[in-house]
Chains A and B, each alone.
Chain A
Amino acid sequence: EDKVVQSPLSLVVHEGDTVTLNCSYEVTNFRSLLWYKQEKKAPTFLFMLTSSGIEKKSGRLSSILDKKELFSILNITATQTGDSAIYLCAVIMIKAAGNKLTFGGGTRVLVKP
């Protein structure tokens, strides 16, 4: 069965800290891995990763994919209280119906002032 697992489940940090979130997957016909930030309701798109070893960067956020070891990490540097959210990773498989996303359980991040 296709599986996407995120760790840790939750973490609490202080402003300025660096956070590393993990996403491992066991799926057939992997195509891409996506990271989303969910603050209240709608997940908002952060990154899409398809190739191994190529870092994607957006401001203080960065992400990389390892297709050999089947995982991805999302880094947030110099955290701010506005980074408090649930971070979701999701996998798209080639065989999947259209754009079906298989999500992990999410990591809840709380950044304290």
Chain B
Amino acid sequence: GDSVTQMEGPVTLSEEAFLTINCTYTATGYPSLFWYVQYPGEGLQLLLKATKADDKGSNKGFEATYRKETTSFHLEKGSVQVSDSAVYFCALNTNTGNQFYFGTGTSLTVIP
């Protein structure tokens, strides 16, 4: 079945470090891919998305490229800030029933 596997955390980085959070997926057809962010005590917020192969989603300095050949959608940011501390979820939408599948989440802590 459709699923998402993402890098286990927690991840701790110093401010201005480079961030990569790995995400791979299994899906039939051509899913849309998403990264959601969850700040402490809040619901999930859409961070970025890509709807077809080779698309790059970007927002707030974060980027992810939809790689069909490697079934991946890794999240990257060149220079993290303390305010980026949150849990990040990779997700896919099957597009055949508007159903979403989420990874288990990766907790990021950025220290000054």
| A, B in one complex | no
Residues of B within 8 A of A (CB): none
